[in-house]
């Protein structure tokens, strides 16, 4: 009888311990991996585009600016977007090659660009209002294959599952644009 009671108590403690480990301090479930989109599957695809968008602080519509970089097998494009409707205010386009695109996509794949996790807040609107949000997209023939986001406020925000690779991804995209710093000079995010 005593051994049966002891086994029940131990089993109960194991279950309670598992629940505590599986949750964060605020009681919410820890984010889990939703999926991993392999970008290398798109390196030879003529209709695939990868893009990274840096959204600015939440300010009045007339002050809002975002920067978007889109890369495919044929071109690299940087755009300064104005207003919340993302009207293109200024853009520059540079040629690309299939070999360069394949190398870029492989680097993004290694940096976990396609890693997505399950979070409570899937929509970035209104999140991190005084910081920046980053949108990561993969499209194929104008169809959205993958879209995640992260921000500068909290690592737990957003479904982007690459964690600390967000800065690496940002640097990889900026490096795709010739004279990126000159193009974006004066843009206040």
Considering the domain architecture, whether residues 118 and 82 belong to the same structural domain is answered as yes
Considering the domain architecture, whether residues 6 and 94 belong to the same structural domain is answered as no
CA 134 to CA 121: how far, in whole Å? 14
Structural domain includes residue 188: no
Extract the tokens encoding 7: 């086994």
For 1, the domain range is: 1-30
CATH of the domain at 137: 3.30.1560
C-beta pairs of 178-186 under 8 Å, 24+ apart in sequence = 178/94, 180/78, 183/78, 183/80, 183/90, 183/92, 184/67, 184/78, 184/80
Considering the domain architecture, whether residues 44 and 125 belong to the same structural domain is answered as yes
Structural domain includes residue 121: yes
Structural domain includes residue 185: no
Considering the domain architecture, whether residues 157 and 103 belong to the same structural domain is answered as yes
Its pTM stands at 0.80
Considering the domain architecture, whether residues 59 and 18 belong to the same structural domain is answered as no
Considering the domain architecture, whether residues 164 and 103 belong to the same structural domain is answered as yes
Structural domain includes residue 184: no
Considering the domain architecture, whether residues 130 and 89 belong to the same structural domain is answered as yes
Q: What is the pLDDT of residues 85-111, one digit of tens each?
A: 788 999 999 999 999 999 999 999 999
Extract the tokens encoding 14: 């194991």
Considering the domain architecture, whether residues 4 and 48 belong to the same structural domain is answered as no
Considering the domain architecture, whether residues 120 and 151 belong to the same structural domain is answered as yes
Q: What is the pLDDT of residues 25-76, one digit of tens each?
A: 333 444 556 678 999 999 999 999 999 999 988 888 888 899 999 999 999 9
* Cβ neighbours around 169 below 10 Å, total: 21
């Amino acid at each position: 009888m005593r051994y049966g009671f002891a086994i029940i108590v131990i089993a109960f403690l194991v279950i309670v311990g598992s629940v505590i480990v599986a949750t964060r301090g605020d009681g919410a479930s820890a984010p889990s991996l939703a999926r991993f989109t392999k970008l290398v599957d798109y390196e030879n695809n003529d209709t695939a585009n990868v893009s990274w968008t840096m959204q600015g602080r939440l300010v009045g519509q007339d002050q809002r600016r975002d920067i978007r970089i889109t890369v495919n097998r044929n071109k690299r494009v940087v755009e300064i977007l104005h207003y919340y409707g993302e009207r293109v205010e200024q853009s520059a386009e540079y040629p690309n090659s299939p070999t360069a695109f394949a190398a870029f996509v492989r680097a993004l794949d290694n940096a976990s660009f396609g890693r997505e996790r399950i979070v409570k807040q899937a929509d970035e609107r209104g999140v991190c209002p005084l910081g920046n949000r980053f949108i990561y997209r993969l499209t194929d023939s104008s169809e959205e294959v993958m879209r995640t986001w992260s921000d500068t406020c909290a690592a737990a925000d957003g479904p982007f599952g690459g964690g600390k690779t967000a800065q690496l991804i940002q640097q990889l995209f900026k490096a795709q644009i010739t004279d990126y710093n000159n193009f974006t000079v004066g843009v206040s995010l």
